[in-house]
Amino acid sequence: MKVAIVEDDINMRKSLELFFSDNEDIQIVSFKNPKDALKVLDDSFNLVITDINMPQMDGLEFLRTLNGRYEAIVITGNATLNKAIDSIRLGVKDFFQKPFEPELLLEAIYRSKKLIEFQKNHQESPNTIQIKDKSKQTTDFIATSEALQGVIKVAQKVSLTDASVLLLGQSGVGKEVFAKFIHKNSPRKQAPFIAINMAAIPDHLLESELFGYEKGAFTDASTSKAGLFECANGGSVFLDEIGEMPLVLQSKLLRAIQEKEITRLGSAKNIKIDVRFISATNANLEQKVQDGDFREDLFFRLQTVPIHIPPLKDRKEEILPLAEWKLKNVLEQYNFPKKTFSPGAKNKMLEYEWYGNIRELLSVVERATILSEGKFIEEEDLFLESRNPKKNSSKIATLEIDLIKEVYKDCQGDLVKSAEILGMNLDMLKHKIAKYGLNF
């Protein structure tokens, strides 16, 4: 599958190139801007991944120019809701807000790949595939390990109260699943559950999104709008990646938890709210407190009941049941014929490191289910390779050298400007030039 990545941010572009460099199924061709891409794009390409906000040509204008010739995915760091809607109208199937997990992008690419293959094979009857409603999927736990059963017991107890809960654990262990479980088993279960990712909302929009705003509070505020805390009234709010919340807003969140009231942007009126707060982080909040990046009083308020969710490597007995559950789910969703894991595939899943925890496992199983042929999912269908630090270090060094050379060339030999674009100080850049023996 040939994929074009159009991204003006050189760090993002190189990161994606690195991530896909080992994938034999996907050939990546990257471009700095849409105009360069339009000169090269032809029928050999299957998919276009593009940013929206780019200097030479806006991503939406680029998509309009393509006129639906390719499947498209949008990635962006700062897009309005209107632009997101416009991209969907232009046929975009997936929309990723930076920062995002590259595994999720890979999953979206494989979905597009399968759709393209299906359309080629079923051009006369494009509607024969039946996709089931994802809202009907269960969120119950597969908990065969003692470690997770203990966590569930704590979650069940705390769900009956209004105590603030702080969910701790690595990325991908299922913190949002636990947050939904707590809400689902609480007296608030009939009221809204609103999940908010602190890292996904730009800092300048976060206050208005959480607390709402009054008409005239800022230039584009033509009407008043209730914030997410108001919308969740009577229910639960899940604050994911709470460690990324800007320090300037933490005092307002503390007041919302302590006083059960908020103030909209541009207003002096206090609004009472009835909300249960559940937070989650994979960061070390205690260290952030010591570094002055997180309020100590807010930290203690959030963790009335701290719950640590163990990584998948500490509950290996759940790997195969989770994989079987996801396999069954995907088969039903796409109305595929029955498949099962081969003994080799099962052993590979049990031996693998799963640094991405459950999220990585489920993505791997979905991809393997979609792409595998025949009745068995074999070991090679999983595309799992043990991570080799030496190999990765060498590859990263090669990409870093290419990155430094490209930026240096773009900046016409200006080291100060090059260091700024690369996100490092001048001394660090000089050190790397000497380390790699670069001669410009």
Of the pLDDT bands very low, low, confident and very high (cuts 50, 70, 90), residue 83 is: low
- CB within 8 A of 254, min separation 6: which ones? 295, 297, 298, 301
Q: Global pTM?
A: 0.60
- Least Cα distance to 229 among 203, 252, 201 occurs for 252
Report the chain's mean pLDDT, rounded to a whole number: 84
- Flag whether pLDDT at 85 surpasses 70: no
- CA-to-CA dists, residue 26 to 43, 63, 76, 400, angstroms: 16, 21, 21, 22
Does position 426 have pLDDT exceeding 50, yes or no? yes
| Confidence label for 129 from pLDDT (cuts 50, 70 and 90) | very low
In this predicted structure, what is the pLDDT of residue 48?
Answer: 94
Q: How far is CA 6 from the centre of its chain?
A: 19
pLDDT value of residue 84: 63
pLDDT tens readout for residues 266-302: 999 999 999 999 999 998 999 999 999 999 999 999 9
Instruction: Please report the pLDDT score of residue 138 as a whole number.
Output: 35
CA distance 308 to 322: 20
If you average pLDDT over residues 223-238, what whole number do you get? 93
Lowest mean pLDDT among 21-25, 95-99, 140-144: 140-144
Give yes or no for a contact between 338 and 374, defined as CB atoms under 8 angstroms apart. no
| Residue 31's pLDDT band (cuts 50, 70, 90) | very high
CA dihedral angle for residue 251, residue 257, residue 258, residue 259, rounded to 10 degrees: 100
The pLDDT score that the predictor gives to residue 310 is 93
The pair phi, psi for residue 327, each rounded to 5°, is -60, -50
Spatial separation of the C-alpha atoms in residues 272 and 268, rounded to whole Å? 13
pLDDT at 422 over 80: no
Read off the pLDDT of each residue in 224-247 and give the average, rounded to a whole number: 93
Mean of pLDDT values over 182-203? 90
pLDDT at 18 (0 to 100) = 87
Q: Can you give the residue ranges of every domain in the chain?
A: 1-129, 146-309, 389-435
Q: Read off φ and ψ for residue 434, nearest 5 degrees.
A: -70, -40
Q: Which two tokens stand for residue 148?
A: 């997770």
Residue 256 pLDDT exceeds 50: yes
DSSP letter at 201 equals S
Which SS3 state, helix, strand or coil, does residue 92 take? coil
Is the pLDDT assigned to residue 140 strictly greater than 70?
no
- Per-residue pLDDT for 357 more than 60? yes
Among 369, 380, 377, 361, CA closest to 327 = 369
Stronger pLDDT, 58 or 183, i.e. the higher one: 183
Instruction: Give, in degrees to the nearest 5, the angle at Cα 264 between 260 and 269.
Output: 75
Supply the pLDDT for residue 271.
Answer: 95
Q: If you search the block for the tokens 């039946």, which residue do you land on?
A: 130
Query: Can you say whether the dihedral through the CA atoms of 8, 11, 12, 15 is positive or negative?
Result: positive
Of 120, 165, 192, the closest CA to residue 302 belongs to 165
Answer yes or no: are the C-beta atoms of 330 and 366 closer than 8 Å.
Answer: yes
Render 113-132 in DSSP notation, one character per residue: HHHHHHHHHTTT-TT-----
Question: How big is the chain, counted in residues?
Answer: 440
Architecture of the CATH domain 146-309: 3-Layer(aba) Sandwich (3.40)
Integer Cα distance of 126 and 239 in angstroms: 41
pLDDT above 50 (res 127): no
The string of pLDDT tens digits covering residues 294-318 is 999 999 999 999 999 999 989 999 9
As a dihedral over the C-alpha atoms of residue 377, residue 382, residue 386, residue 391, rounded to 10 degrees, the angle is: 140
**Of residues 288 and 430, more confidently modeled:** 288
The third-level CATH classification (topology) of the domain covering 1-129 is Rossmann fold (3.40.50)
Amino acid found at 416:
V
% of the chain beyond a pLDDT of 70: 88
State the sign of the Cα–Cα–Cα–Cα dihedral 285, 290, 292, 296.
positive
Q: Are 1-129 and 146-309 equal in CATH topology? A: yes
**Strand, helix or coil for residue 422:** helix
Is-cis flag, bond preceding 99, omega within 30?
A: yes
Alpha-carbon gap, residue 277 to 272, rounded angstroms:
15
The pLDDT tens digits for 376-397 are: 999 999 988 655 544 555 666 7
pLDDT band per the 50, 70, 90 thresholds, residue 76: confident
Six-digit token pair at 335? 């109305």
One-letter amino acid for residue 56 of the chain: Q
pLDDT tens per residue across span 166-187? 999 998 899 999 999 999 999 9
